[in-house]
Structure 1
Amino acid sequence: MSLVQPRNDRFYEELPAFTDFAKVSEEHAFVELPGDWVLLATDIVQSSDAVAEGHYKTVNMIAAATLAAILNTAKGADLPFVFGGDGAMAAVPARLAAPASAALAGLRNMAREVAGLELRVGAFPVADLRASGAGLKVRKFELSEGNHLAMFAGGGLDLAEAMLKDPERSAAYIVPDTGGEAPPPLDGLSCRWEPVFSERGFMVTVMLRPARGQAEGLRAILADLDARLGIALTEADPEAAPVHRSNLRFRFPPGGLWREMRMVGWRRGRGRVLARALFESVVFLLAQLTGRRIGPLVPDRYMGELRRNIDFRKFDDTLRLVLDLSGDQTAALQAYLDAEQEAGRLHYGMHVADSALITCLVFSLDKSRHIHFIDGANGGFTQAARAFKQNRA
C-alpha cells in the first residue's frame, strides 16, 4: 500500500491562505472542494431547550467535540471546518469519511449518555450537494502561523444543514448507530476559561447575510460597519474583538473541569483525564504567575496566540461575528441592520449578552497548534440563528 497521500487529500493543506479579512468578500478567490470529499455535519436537537435550561456551555462543548473528533481522526491534517455553537461542520477527503463518521457516531452516544442531548450526525458527499444545486467553495484564513479558519461559499453548508434537520431528506445521509461505537478521540478539547465579560458593555453575536451578491454586498456591509458605526472588522486586531488579556480569567480548579472530565474521559478513563487536566491547570497557573516557560508552555506567547486564534469573525455564506461593543455601538448596529433589512439589502439575527464562552482545542503548545471557539453567553449563535431564520422567512 502506498504511503503517499493522493493530491486530492492535500487540497486544503496546499490552498494558499489569506490574512486580510477584507478579502473575504473576494468571491472569485473561493475554490471548489474536490467532488470526492465529504461534508460531515452535526446538530444538537432542541438546542434552544438546552439553552433555556442553562446548559449552553455543554452545547458548545459538544459542538466543539465534533471538530476534535474529526481532527484527531485526521491525525494532524489541515481540514476546513466551521463551529456553529450548537453544531459544527467539516469537510474531509474520501479516505477519512468512514473513520471520521465512526468517531462522530461515538460522539453521538457520548452526548446521549453524558449530557442527555440528541446529536444529529450526517455525511454528505460534496458531489451530491452539487447535484442538488449547491456549490461548496472554500478559502483559508490564517489566524496565526499554522492555524486557519475556513471560509465557505456556494450554499453547500446551508443545504446540508437543511437536509440534516429534515428526516426525509437526510435519511440517506444520516450516520447510523451500530451499537459498537468506540469512544470518540477528543484529545485537546477543554473548557478551562471562565466566561469572558464585555469590557465595553455588551457581547453581541451577529449573523448577517447580504441579499445581493457576496462580493458587492459584503464589501458594502464591512465598509458601513467601519465608516458609520466605528466597527473596524477588517483590521488585524480590531478594537471590537471580544477577547483581551484583561478579560481572560482563569481560576483553580477551572469551572469547566468536571464537564471536560466527563466528556473527554467518557469510556476512556475519567480519572486519568481529570489528573492530567488538574496537572495542566497547575502548570498553567504557575506559568501565568511567574511569567516563565514551563515545558512547552511559554505564557506570553500562548496568550498572544490565543487572542489571534479566536474565531470571532468568519464567513460561511453568512457573516458570523462575536463582538465586544459599547451600548451606543450596539444600538447603532441594531438600527443599521434593521434599516438595511427593511430595504431588502440583508437579513440578520442578533443576540446580546454581558459575556461570552470560550471552548478550546489545544493540540500542541510546542508547535503553537491551538484554536479557540467563542459564542455569546445564554444562547449566542443559537438565539441569533433563530432570529435570522425568522427574518428570512
Structure 2
Amino acid sequence: MSLHYLPHDIPTDADLLSGPAFYERIARITEFDRLAEPMRYVRLPDEWIVGVADIVGSTEEISKGRYKAVNLVGAAVISAQLNAAGMQALPYVFGGDGAQFAVWPGQRDDAEAALDAVRHWAREEYGLQLRVATATVADVRAAGQDVRVARYAPSDGVDYASFSGGGMAWLEARMKAGEVNLPVSTETQAPDLTGLSCRWANIDASHGAILSLVMVPKAGASDADFARVAQDVIAVADKAKRQGHPVPSLGPKAQFPPPGLDLEARIAPKGAMWWRKAKLLFGSAFAWALLRSEIRLGRFDPVDYKVDVARNTDYQKFDDGLKMTLDCGADTQVQIEAVLQKAHTDGVIRYGLHVQDAAMMTCIVPSPVERSHMHFVDGASGGYALAARNLRAQAA
C-alpha cells in the first residue's frame, strides 16, 4: 500500500479505515483551486464521527464588539479536539463563530467530552452559548447526504481539511433547528486548550478592504456547476495582489500589551485572574521583545516564525461551500460579486459578503520552535458570521 493515497486507491483494510491513519494517509493538495474539483475528495468511512459547533446569537455579540471572543471560542473547539486526540492529525474547519471536525470511532468518547467541556467553558468564562452536536457518517448518509474530505497544505508545516458532500451543513442545520444536540454533562472538566492564543493585533487591509465571502450550492445544483463557479471566484482572487492574502508576507506586527490579553487569561481558568494576567503579560513582553528584535534564541527564529504565520494562515477553505477572507481592492470585489451574482441568478449558488477594514487572527501553537503552528483568520468586524447572515437574508 502506498504511503499517501488519492480517492481512486482508498484502502479497504478495516483497521486502517477505523483509525487515525486513514486521514493521515490522504494525499495533501498544495493548489487551492484543485479543492473545487469533486474528484479530489475522499469519502469518510461510515464509522467515523462528525461534529459541529456554533455560537448562539453571534450577530448580537458582534454588535457588542465581542467578535474576537467569538472567534476564540470557535478556535477552542478545534484546539480541544486536537489535544484530546494527542495532536494526531484529524480533519477540522474553522468557521468564525463555530467549527466542524471529524474523528475516528475510538476517539468518539474523548471528542464528545472535549466538546461538552468547551461548551461549559464558553458559558462560564465568556458568557457565550455554544451549540454542539455529533453524528456518525453512516447517519449522515442515511439522510441522503455525504461527508467527503480533502487535505490542503498551504505550507510544509500545516494542512487544513476541506469538507464536501453536504453532510456537515446538514448536521449543522439540524443542530440549529434543535433536532440534535450533544447531551449536557453535569460533571465536566475544563477543556485542554494547550497552545490556543489570540495575541496578534488586528491586521489592517493593505489593498483596499477585507472581504469576507461565504458561498454555498443551491439545492439541486450539480457538483460540477458549483465547482466551476468556485474556480471562477478563485481565479479572480488569484489576480489580486498576493492572491488576496490578508496577512503580510513577513508576518503580522507584534503589539504590546497584546489586545487579546483579557480573553486569553480565561483560556486556562486556574488561579486568580490577576495572576493569570500577570503571567501572560510577562510572557507576552518576552515574546514581543523577541519578535521586534528578530534575534534568534536557541531553536526559535522570530523571522522564520513570522513568515510561517503568514504561510500557515487558513484564509481560504471549503466546508460544503467556499469561504474566503481576502485583502483586495474595489475592482476585485466588483469582479467577484459579478461572478457570484450571475451564478445566483443561474440557480447554482447562494452567497453572502461582508466588507471591513481589518482581519483578525486566532492561533494554535503547539510549539513555537516547530513549523506546525496554525492560524485562523477572519474579518475583524463580523467576517464569516455576517457574510453568512447576508447569505441567509438572500435566501429568505
- Scaled by the length of structure 2, what TM-score is found? 0.89
Unaligned stretches of 5+ residues in structure 2: 1-13
1:301 aligns with 2:304: yes
Report how far residue 380 of structure 1 moved: 0.9
Instruction: Give the Cα separation in 1 of the matches to 2:250 and 2:244.
Output: 14
1:251 aligns with 2:250: no
What does 1:51-200 align with in structure 2 at a 5 Å threshold? 51-167=62-178, 169-170=179-180, 174-200=181-207
Instruction: Give the Cα separation in 2 of the matches to 1:269 and 1:124.
Output: 38
Partner of 2:214: 207
Distance of aligned partners of 1:166 and 1:221 in 2 relative to their CA distance in 1, 3 Å threshold: closer
- Scaled by the length of structure 1, what TM-score is found? 0.90
Partner of 1:370: 373
Q: Which of the residues 224, 228, 250 maps onto 1:219?
A: 228
Report how far residue 340 of structure 1 moved: 2.9
Which letter does structure 1 place at the counterpart of 2:141?
R
Instruction: Give the Cα separation in 2 of the matches to 1:6 and 1:238.
Output: 43
Partner of 2:6: none
Superimposed CA distance per residue, residues 203-232 of structure 1 (whole angstroms, 9 cap, x where no aligned partner): 000011355433443234424653xxx521
1:363 partner SS:
coil
Contact map agreement 1:183 1:267 (CA 8 A) in 2: no
Contact map agreement 2:33 2:234 (CA 8 A) in 1: no
Unaligned stretches of 5+ residues in structure 1: none
1:286 aligns with 2:286: no
Which letter does structure 2 place at the counterpart of 1:341?
H
Instruction: Give the Cα separation in 2 of the matches to 1:268 and 1:320.
Output: 39
Report how far residue 186 of structure 1 moved: 0.7
1:345 aligns with 2:351: no
Stretch moving more, 241-250 or 367-376: 241-250
Instruction: Give the Cα separation in 1 of the matches to 2:233 and 2:65.
Output: 35
Superimposed CA distance per residue, residues 333-356 of structure 1 (whole angstroms, 9 cap, x where no aligned partner): 323322332232322110000111
Q: Which of the residues 16, 37, 43 maps onto 1:26?
A: 37
RMSD of the TM alignment (CA)? 2.2
Report how far residue 59 of structure 1 moved: 0.6
Distance of aligned partners of 1:274 and 1:352 in 2 relative to their CA distance in 1, 3 Å threshold: same
Q: Which of the residues 238, 242, 246 maps onto 2:246?
A: 242
What does 1:352-367 align with in structure 2 at a 5 Å threshold? 352-367=355-370
Distance of aligned partners of 1:39 and 1:45 in 2 relative to their CA distance in 1, 3 Å threshold: same
Contact map agreement 2:211 2:354 (CA 8 A) in 1: yes
Which letter does structure 1 place at the counterpart of 2:223?
Q
Instruction: Give the Cα separation in 1 of the matches to 2:158 and 2:215.
Output: 25
1:231 partner SS:
helix
Contact map agreement 2:84 2:192 (CA 8 A) in 1: yes
Superimposed CA distance per residue, residues 267-295 of structure 1 (whole angstroms, 9 cap, x where no aligned partner): 47756654553343233222223322224
Instruction: Give the Cα separation in 2 of the matches to 1:23 and 1:332.
Output: 21
Distance of aligned partners of 1:117 and 1:141 in 2 relative to their CA distance in 1, 3 Å threshold: same
1:281 partner SS:
helix
1:306 partner SS:
helix
Instruction: Give the Cα separation in 2 of the matches to 1:104 and 1:334.
Output: 36
1:239 partner SS:
helix
Instruction: Give the Cα separation in 1 of the matches to 2:342 and 2:255.
Output: 43
What does 1:326-337 align with in structure 2 at a 5 Å threshold? 326-337=329-340
Percent identity of paired positions between Structure 1 and Structure 2:
35
Contact map agreement 2:214 2:351 (CA 8 A) in 1: yes
Stretch moving more, 153-162 or 330-339: 330-339
Distance of aligned partners of 1:127 and 1:267 in 2 relative to their CA distance in 1, 3 Å threshold: farther
Which letter does structure 2 place at the counterpart of 1:377?
A
Contact map agreement 1:25 1:216 (CA 8 A) in 2: no
Stretch moving more, 213-222 or 296-305: 213-222
2:154 partner SS:
strand
Instruction: Give the Cα separation in 2 of the matches to 1:224 and 1:85.
Output: 21
Distance of aligned partners of 1:132 and 1:221 in 2 relative to their CA distance in 1, 3 Å threshold: closer
Which letter does structure 1 place at the counterpart of 2:290?
A
1:364 partner SS:
coil
Instruction: Give the Cα separation in 2 of the matches to 1:289 and 1:195.
Output: 17
Stretch moving more, 108-117 or 328-337: 328-337
Instruction: Give the Cα separation in 2 of the matches to 1:103 and 1:272.
Output: 26
Partner of 1:317: 320
Instruction: Give the Cα separation in 2 of the matches to 1:81 and 1:180.
Output: 26
Instruction: Give the Cα separation in 2 of the matches to 1:209 and 1:335.
Output: 16
Q: Which of the residues 232, 237, 240 maps onto 1:231?
A: 237
Stretch moving more, 240-249 or 22-31: 240-249
Instruction: Give the Cα separation in 2 of the matches to 1:69 and 1:153.
Output: 23
Which letter does structure 2 place at the counterpart of 1:244?
P
Distance of aligned partners of 1:61 and 1:164 in 2 relative to their CA distance in 1, 3 Å threshold: same
Which letter does structure 1 place at the counterpart of 2:186?
G
Partner of 2:9: none
Distance of aligned partners of 1:269 and 1:294 in 2 relative to their CA distance in 1, 3 Å threshold: farther
Contact map agreement 1:137 1:152 (CA 8 A) in 2: yes
Instruction: Give the Cα separation in 2 of the matches to 1:91 and 1:206.
Output: 24
Superimposed CA distance per residue, residues 293-316 of structure 1 (whole angstroms, 9 cap, x where no aligned partner): 224421121111111111111011
